[in-house]
């Protein structure tokens, strides 16, 4: 049976959030964003081995946070790089199991639910990869040379994480030289020649990017607590 891994990328500095401490360490309902994220994977039935990519200068800060919150789950620590691409690559290099399925997930998507994680591992086992994505709720227009044209909304997906791949796909993909068209792992794997498979995501699986996203995440979590889930 193949082993599951999850690379949680937390190597960013959160420039759009604008806080002194990067957004992955900010508190949402009393717990750092990154702890919510790690717990979602830890509590999933897929039970992946966790690899956490953290900025070099924040390893000690994270250790202190773990002590404060008595946070003791097992994971392997990797050092994040200058770009998300480099952070994924550094974490991936710690995996040697060629039969594994590997999820890559943004640390700053703390509202991912464990059932969706499991469904994505299941689909990746069948099709080679599974990319969590949602249909656009808004109408879509594309602007080119000053002219905008409507696009078919049902053909447009907004891509989230986790994005789960067979080992061999990530291996070949991350041998490529970095390009700034690589905005996620699906774009890297696609450029390496693999077909990409989507799985329906969750509109609550937001990425914490701007200050208002913290308040939105807190409201969603409160709603889940009130609903008992
Ligand atoms: N060098 C980097 C850059 C980003 N990330 C991670 O990739 C995820 C998505 O990136 P983003 O939201 O862009 O995070 P930041 O780069 O921190 O934010 P900003 O672009 O506003 O600086 C985050 O979990 C972030 O920590 C990473 O591991 N290493
Ligand atoms: C990987 C990602 O979260 C998928 O939506 C997104 O592409 C990250 O983009 P960012 O520019 O690093 O925020």
pLDDT tens string 65-104:
999 999 999 999 999 999 999 999 999 999 999 999 999 9
* Shortest-distance atom of ligand 1 to CA 10: 26
- Left (φ > 0), alpha (ψ -120 to 50) or beta: where does 70 sit? left
**Nearest ligand for residue 185 CA:** 2
Q: Which two tokens stand for residue 122?
A: 């299941």
Give the distance (Å) from ligand 2 centre to CA of residue 1: 31
**Nearest ligand for residue 21 CA:** 1
Quote the Cα angle for 49-7-79, to 5°: 110
Ligand 2 pocket mutation, candidates 112, 179, 183, criterion most atoms within 8 A of CB: 183
pTM higher than 0.90, yes or no?
yes
pLDDT in tens, 94-116: 999 999 999 999 999 999 999 99
Q: How far apart are CA 93 and CA 74, in angstroms?
A: 18
Q: How confident is the model at residue 136 (pLDDT cuts 50, 70, 90)?
A: very high
- CA 144 to chain CA centroid, Å, is 30
Q: Where are the beta strands (DSSP E) in 115-178?
A: 129-135, 140-144, 147-151, 157-166
Query: Between helices 33-42 and 114-127, what is the axis angle to 10°?
Result: 60
Q: In CATH terms, is domain 4-226 a member of 3.90.550.10?
A: yes
Q: How far apart are CA 110 and CA 122, in angstroms?
A: 21
* Straight-line distance from the first to the last Cα atom of the chain, in angstroms, rounded to the nearest whole number: 31
């Amino acid at each position: 049976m193949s082993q599951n891994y999850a690379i949680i990328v937390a190597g960013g500095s959160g420039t759009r959030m604008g806080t002194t401490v990067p957004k992955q360490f900010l508190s949402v309902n009393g717990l750092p964003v990154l702890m919510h994220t790690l717990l979602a994977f830890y509590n999933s039935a897929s039970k992946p081995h966790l690899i956490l990519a953290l900025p070099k200068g924040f390893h000690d800060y994270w250790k202190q946070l773990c002590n404060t919150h008595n946070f003791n789950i097992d994971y392997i620590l990797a050092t994040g790089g200058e770009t998300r691409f480099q952070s994924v690559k550094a974490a991936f290099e710690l995996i040697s199991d060629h039969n594994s399925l590997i999820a890559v997930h943004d640390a700053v998507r703390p509202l991912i639910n464990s059932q969706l994680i499991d469904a994505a591992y299941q689909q990746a086992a069948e099709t080679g990869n599974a990319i969590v994505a949602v249909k656009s709720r808004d109408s879509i227009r594309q602007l080119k040379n000053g002219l905008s044209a409507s696009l078919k909304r049902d053909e447009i997906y907004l891509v989230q994480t986790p994005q789960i791949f067979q080992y061999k796909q990530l291996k070949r993909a991350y041998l490529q030289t970095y390009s700034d068209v690589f905005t996620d792992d699906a774009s890297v794997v696609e450029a390496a020649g693999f077909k990409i498979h989507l799985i329906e995501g969750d509109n609550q699986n937001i990425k914490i990017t701007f200050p208002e996203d913290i308040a939105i995440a807190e409201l969603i979590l409160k709603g889940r607590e009130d609903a008992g889930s």
